[in-house]
């Protein structure tokens, strides 16, 4: 049988949490085989000009749809895939706004985590700003506290864009901030994530060094 043509061409990096969001959605919807992965060297300082044809910000994930439309960022690409498959990961009606707010919370946690990591990884030690780093870690702590508060509700929710974004965010902390020990003071969030992270789309996209 002739393979189906790619639904998307996706610039990606296997360790990017935002790319992981897209791939979690693709796996959940049964579309992972329809995603053509394109190599890139996305970097917060040095632009990869291959990406700019898709995204002038030179950030990933960036994609090109089968009909030639450029799509970015993860929020747009995830909704594109869900709309194409009528997957229901983006609720409608009154349930839509809490789901999108949970997505924003997870994305905000990731934004802060990436900025904190860039401060330590991309700048020489003599230029590190401790107040800047501390500010990003405060945002991470506040997001974790909110996930802890919402954990009983999260446990009752279906697999949707908000919960999967929070799952990807917590997975990134485990991957890049393994000394953070966020579970110690947030047992309900830890219990929710332990179960959620076993879902096949999460297990199949878990980052590795």
Q: 146-158: per-residue pLDDT in tens?
A: 999 999 999 999 9
Calpha distance 37→35 (Å, rounded): 6
What is residue 209's predicted lDDT score, i.e. its pLDDT? Answer: 67
Please give the CATH architecture assigned to the domain spanning 8-85. Answer: 3-Layer(aba) Sandwich (3.40)
- Residue 208 pLDDT class (50, 70, 90 cuts): confident
What is residue 1's predicted lDDT score, i.e. its pLDDT? Answer: 58
pTM: 0.95
- Residue 142 pLDDT class (50, 70, 90 cuts): very high
Q: Which of 185-191's residues contact partners 24+ apart within 8 Å by CB, and which partners?
A: 185/148, 186/144, 186/145, 186/147, 186/148, 186/151, 187/148, 188/148, 188/151, 188/152, 189/144, 189/147, 189/148, 189/151, 191/151, 191/155
Q: Is pLDDT above 70 for 164?
A: yes
The residues pairing with 37 across neighbouring beta strands, listed in sequence order, are 10
Delimit the CATH 1.20.1050.10 region(s) of the chain: 93-203
Calpha distance 193→114 (Å, rounded): 20
Q: Is 72 helix (H, G, I), strand (E, B) or coil?
A: coil
Strand positions, DSSP E, 28-178? 35-38, 62-65, 70-71
Q: Is pLDDT above 90 for 122?
A: no
Q: Which of 152, 188, 192 is CA-nearest to residue 171?
A: 192
Q: Which residue has the higher pLDDT, 101 or 127?
A: 101
Q: Is pLDDT above 80 for 6?
A: yes
Cβ atoms of 99 and 91 closer than 8 Å: yes
Give the mean model confidence (pLDDT) for residues 80-85.
Answer: 98
Please give the CATH architecture assigned to the domain spanning 93-203. Answer: Up-down Bundle (1.20)
What is residue 132's predicted lDDT score, i.e. its pLDDT? Answer: 92
Q: Is pLDDT above 70 for 2?
A: no
Q: Is pLDDT above 90 for 119?
A: no
Taking only the tens place, the pLDDT of each residue in 16-68 is 999 999 999 999 999 999 999 999 988 877 888 999 988 999 999 999 999 99
Delimit the CATH 3.40.30.10 region(s) of the chain: 8-85
What is residue 127's predicted lDDT score, i.e. its pLDDT? Answer: 83
Q: Is 57 helix (H, G, I), strand (E, B) or coil?
A: coil
């Amino acid at each position: 049988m002739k393979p189906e043509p790619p639904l998307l061409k996706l610039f990606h990096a296997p360790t990017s949490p935002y790319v992981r969001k897209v791939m979690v959605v693709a796996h959940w919807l049964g579309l992972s085989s329809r995603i053509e992965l394109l190599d890139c060297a996305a970097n917060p300082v040095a632009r990869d000009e291959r990406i700019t044809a898709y995204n002038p910000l030179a950030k990933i994930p960036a994609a090109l749809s089968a009909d030639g439309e450029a799509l970015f960022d993860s929020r747009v690409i995830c909704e594109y895939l869900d709309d194409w498959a009528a997957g229901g990961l983006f609720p409608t009606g009154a349930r839509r706004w809490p789901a999108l707010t949970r997505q924003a919370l997870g994305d905000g946690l990731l934004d802060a985590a990436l900025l904190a990591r860039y401060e330590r990884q991309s700048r020489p030690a003599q230029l590190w700003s401790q107040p800047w780093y501390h500010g990003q870690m405060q945002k991470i702590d506040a997001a974790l506290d909110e996930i802890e508060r919402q954990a009983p509700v999260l446990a009752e929710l279906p697999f949707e864009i908000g919960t999967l974004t929070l799952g990807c965010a917590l997975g990134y902390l485990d991957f890049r901030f393994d000394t953070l020990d966020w579970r110690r003071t947030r047992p309900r969030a830890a219990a929710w994530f332990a179960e959620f992270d076993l879902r096949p789309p999460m297990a199949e996209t878990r980052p590795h060094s």
